[in-house]
Amino acid sequence: AVIRGSTPHFDYVSAETTKGIANVSLNHNIPVSFGVLTTDTIEQAIERAGSKAGNKGFEAMTTVIEMLNLSKEL
């Protein structure tokens, strides 16, 4: 998770992470899912990593597996 602090570092890290993940997919023609949590608090990160809001990392991984299986069928 990237958790917002009191400096603009959160914005830089979040933006570059997003660009990097997109570039992997575009440059290597492989399915990629964005599973990085960007939150304002540690509590939000915990909620999204397997608590009240589900497990966003697991959901991202499941999506990629489904995309890989579909691409094999094409």
For residue 4, the 8-state DSSP code is -
pLDDT digits (tens, 9 = 90+) for 33-47: 989 999 999 999 999
Q: Which domain holds residue 54?
A: 2-73
* Domain at 20, CATH number: 3.40.50.960
Asked if 9 is an active-site residue, the reply is yes
Burial class (CB in 10 A: 0-12, 13-18, 19+), 73: exposed
User: Is the pTM value of this prediction over 0.85?
Assistant: no
Closest CA to 3 of 63, 46, 54: 46
**For the chain, how many structural domains are there in total?**
1
pLDDT digits (tens, 9 = 90+) for 44-66: 999 999 877 789 889 999 999 99
* Active-site residue, selected from the candidate residues 9, 15, 41, 70: 9
